[in-house]
Amino acid sequence: MQFLFQGEFYPGGFQLQDDIDACFASFCDHYPVQKLALSYALELIKGTSCHLDRIDTLIRECASNWRIERIALTDRNLLRIAVYEMLYSEEAPDQVVINEAVEIAKRYGTEDSPPFINGVLDAVRVVIRAGTELTKGESESSSQT
C-alpha cells in the first residue's frame, strides 16, 4: 500500500511494468519488506497498476457521492488493492479481503476510514456477485465475447 501511495507522486504514475520493477527494487532498499511477502506484494502492485482504470471505475461506482480524487490517498490505495484482490486473486475469499482492509484502515487511516472502506468494499462485493463485474478467475476477453 505504501508503494502505491508513493506512486501517486511519481510523475505520470507507474506506466510501464519495468518502471514498477525498478521502483519496487529501490523501495525495498529503503523500507523493510519481508522476503516471504516480496513476490505477493509485487503481484498486488503490478496487478493493481495494470487494471487501475477498471478498478477505479468500480470504486467510483460503489463510493456513493465520492469522486475518487477526493478519497484520502491511504484509503484510495487500500481500496484499489482490495478490489484487485476481489476481482483477480484466488488467495482469499472476499470477506477476508474486506476484513483485512478494514483492519489496515484502522491502523493507517482516519477514524472514518474503517466504516468507509467496509461500505465501499461491501458494495463492490455485491456488484461482483450480481455478475455486473467479472468474478475471480474469469478473463477479461471471455467477458467480451
Q: Which element (helix H / strand E) includes 25?
A: helix 17-30
Q: Tell me what pLDDT residue 41 has.
A: 74
Contact partners, residue 58, CB within 8 Å, separation at least 6 = 83, 87, 124, 127, 133
Q: Cα–Cα distance between 30 and 71 in angstroms, integer?
A: 27
Per-residue pLDDT tens, the chain, 145 aa: give them.
555 555 555 555 555 455 766 666 666 666 676 666 666 777 887 888 889 899 999 999 999 889 998 999 889 999 999 999 999 988 889 999 999 999 999 998 999 999 999 999 999 999 988 876 544 544 444 444 3
CATH value of 2-137 in 3.90.1300.10, 3.40.50.300, 1.10.3720.10, 1.10.940.10:
1.10.940.10
Q: Tell me what pLDDT residue 34 has.
A: 64
Q: Cα–Cα distance between 143 and 134 in angstroms, integer?
A: 7
Chain center to CA of 123: 15
Alpha helices in 33-112 (DSSP H): 38-50, 52-62, 73-88, 94-108
